[in-house]
Amino acid sequence: MRLGQKTFTARHLRHDETLAEKRLWAQLRNRQCAGLKFVRQSPAGPYIADFLCREMRFIVEVDGATHSTDAEVARDHARTQHLKHLGYTVFRVQNDEVIHGMDEVLTLIRDAVASVPSPIPSLRDGPLSSPAQEAGEDLLSSPAFSAGEEGAPLRSNGGDEGPQIQKGIVS
């Protein structure tokens, strides 16, 4: 999808949001959640993220009933893995959880964002590389890129490293 087409699609999605997206946006906008600036329906790699904090490279995806079949869950997993490879952390939540449990969802988002290391290192820290890259390891075969549990509310995006949240994600 060309950038112009993605921007057009994102604008259309902003006007055609679900009730859950509308309610969550009311809580995320204007730096109301952990002081972070979120944008909605924004291009992220080849995809359009429901909510994106560019500063932390953190994405919140609100999934509805259209994300329930095996094929759709597999497609969401592949999308999450691709975004993770691009340096994003993806947090998935169900429409129903936003509508009926907003306080819990916001707490989980704050906890997940707090556990994500800042993607903006100080320039005096030297070149950008990870211990795995320095050792010559293939990043896609590392545990951080392995598949997580599927089908649970607030599904995990995989990874065996770092703190784990019972619901939601932390990578």
Band of pLDDT at residue 168, cut at 50, 70 and 90: low
- Alpha-carbon dihedral angle through residues 71, 57, 154, 62, given to the nearest 10 degrees: -70
Q: Is the pLDDT of residue 80 over 80?
A: yes
Q: What percent of the chain is predicted at pLDDT more than 90?
A: 50
Within 10 A of 123 (CB to CB), how many other CB atoms are there? 6
Rg of the chain's alpha carbons, rounded to an integer? Answer: 16
Q: Is the pLDDT of residue 83 over 70?
A: yes
Nearest to residue 60, comparing CAs of 110, 10, 15?
110
Three-state DSSP class for residue 24 = helix
Band of pLDDT at residue 136, cut at 50, 70 and 90: low
Q: Is the pLDDT of residue 54 over 80?
A: yes
CATH number, span 3-145 = 3.40.960.10
- Distance (Å, whole) CA 21 – CA 148: 25
Q: Where exactly are the structural domains of the chain? A: 3-145
Q: Is the pLDDT of residue 47 over 60?
A: yes
Task: Average the pLDDT over 134-143 and give the result.
Answer: 44
pLDDT at residue 89, as a whole number: 95
Within 10 A of 156 (CB to CB), how many other CB atoms are there? 23
125 compared with 81, residue with greater pLDDT: 81
Nearest to residue 83, comparing CAs of 53, 105, 57, 54?
57
- Distance (Å, whole) CA 35 – CA 45: 24
Q: Is the pLDDT of residue 137 over 90?
A: no
> What's the pTM?
0.64
pLDDT at residue 69, as a whole number: 82
Three-state DSSP class for residue 33 = coil
Q: Is the pLDDT of residue 40 over 80?
A: yes
Under a CB-based contact definition with an 8 Å cutoff, are residues 62 and 76 in contact?
A: no
The set of residues, in sequence order, having a beta carbon less than 8 Å from that of 10 and lying 6+ positions away, is 41, 42, 43, 48
CA 55 to chain centre: 13
pLDDT in tens, 84-123: 999 999 999 999 999 999 999 999 999 999 998 876 554 3
Under a CB-based contact definition with an 8 Å cutoff, are residues 13 and 64 in contact?
A: no
Task: Average the pLDDT over 73-85 and give the result.
Answer: 93
pLDDT at residue 117, as a whole number: 81
